[in-house]
Each structure stands twice: as C-alpha cells, then as structure tokens.
C-alpha cells in the first residue's frame, strides 16, 4: 500500500466531507429562499457536516475508495450526501424554483473551486509557496469534479432533477424512476467512459480557470 497515496486520499476524504456539506447546505438555503421552510424545520439549514452526512455515501464508500486507491496507486473519490427534502408545493414558482434549488448545490462546488484557486494564488504571490502544493490543487479539482458529476442528467443527481423539469416528467413517474436511483449511481460509477470524460473535462476547466489568474496548471 502506497503511504503517500493513502495520505493524499485521506486529505481528499476530509475535503470531500466539507464539499458535500456545503453542497447540501446550498440546496437547503435556496429552498428556504424560494419559500419552502422544510429544510430549516429538518435542521438542514446549517453548515454542520453531521446534518448532511449519509453514512454510506459520505463516509463508508469514500473511505473504501481511498484504501482501494492506496493499494492501486490512484485515488478517485465518489459518493453522496443526505438529500435535502423539499416540498414543491411551497415554492413560489414551482418549476423555476425547483431548478434553482437543484442548481444551487453544483454552483456551490464551483464557487468553492474558484475561491480556493484565488486564495491559493494570492497566498503564492504573498510568498506562501506552501499553497502551491499539489494537494491543494487536488482538492480544488475534487470540488470542481463534484460540480460536474452532479450535473449529469441522470436521476437522482441534480442534473436529472433539472432535466425532469425541462421534460415535464410527472411527480409519480419521477418517483418511480428514483426507486432505481442507487442502481443509476452504481452504473455511472462503474462506467470508465463517463469517469474518463468527466475527469478530462474537469481537468480542462481547472486548467482554464487557473490560466485566468496566472497559474500554469497541468493535468491531475
């Protein structure tokens, strides 16, 4: 087992928990802003990671992937948080607000990546070269990857929820599709094509974002 890869994986695992918590908080915050108080009543309008953790998707599965990655020499984290429950009937404009709530989570991950890159760049310009370590870029890459992964148009991901609204899929039909949501996630996770394309896209976006603020980044 590669100890350096294991340490890197554990750092990413801790970052993953934080990214998931912020992602779910963004869903909750937007839902409340759109008129649904359900997330607040259920204790989800908080930055406390415990409120947003799914013990399988946020803890167990990512840890297993970390140790598997340490054995193979490359860690690729995947997982999910506890879904934020909303009452669509409470939204002021149901279709628009449901899309806004769905977009809020990935948008938070994108914002995190942008802020991390900016903070690291400013710290580097101030002479704090510690922030040029690859671990920080790997965390930025992970947040960006989570943004794009969640936008895939597949239930129960945020992208699937957005697609549902554009296709006007009924609540009953979407609920029936969502019964197989875990199967969809497993298929996506096991698809080398999806993973490769998504990783390559994330790499290119991160390199582009970095170049805008003066970083000469390479592939992860």
Catalytic annotation, residues: 24
Neighbours of 5 (CB within 10 A): 18
Q: For residues 46 and 44, what is the distance between their CA atoms, to the nearest angstrom?
A: 5
Residue 97 has φ and ψ, to the nearest 5°, of -70, -35
Collapse the DSSP code of 156 into the 3-class scheme (helix H, G, I; strand E, B; otherwise coil) and give the result: coil
Is 23:150 a contact under the CB 8 Å cutoff?
A: yes
Q: 168 φ, ψ to 5°?
A: 55, 45
């Amino acid at each position: 087992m590669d100890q350096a890869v294991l340490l890197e994986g554990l750092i990413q695992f801790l970052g993953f928990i934080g990214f998931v918590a912020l992602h779910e908080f963004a869903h909750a915050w937007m839902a409340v802003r759109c008129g649904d108080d359900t997330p607040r009543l259920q204790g989800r309008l908080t930055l406390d990671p415990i409120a947003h953790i799914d013990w399988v998707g946020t803890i167990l599965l990512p840890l297993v992937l970390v140790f598997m990655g340490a054995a193979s020499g490359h860690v690729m984290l995947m997982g999910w948080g506890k879904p934020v429950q909303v009452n669509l009937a409470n939204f002021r404009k149901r279709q628009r607000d449901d899309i806004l709530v769905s977009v809020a989570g990935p948008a938070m991950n994108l914002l995190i990546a942008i802020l991390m890159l900016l903070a690291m760049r400013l710290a580097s310009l101030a002479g704090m070269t510690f922030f040029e370590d690859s671990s920080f870029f790997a965390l930025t890459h992970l947040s960006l990857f989570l943004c794009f992964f969640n936008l895939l148009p597949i239930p129960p991901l945020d992208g699937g929820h957005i697609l549902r609204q554009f296709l006007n899929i009924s609540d009953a039909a979407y609920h029936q599709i969502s019964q197989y949501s875990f199967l969809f996630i497993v298929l996506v996770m096991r698809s080398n094509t999806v993973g490769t394309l998504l990783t390559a896209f994330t790499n290119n976006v991160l390199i582009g974002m970095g170049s805008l603020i003066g970083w000469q980044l390479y592939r992860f």
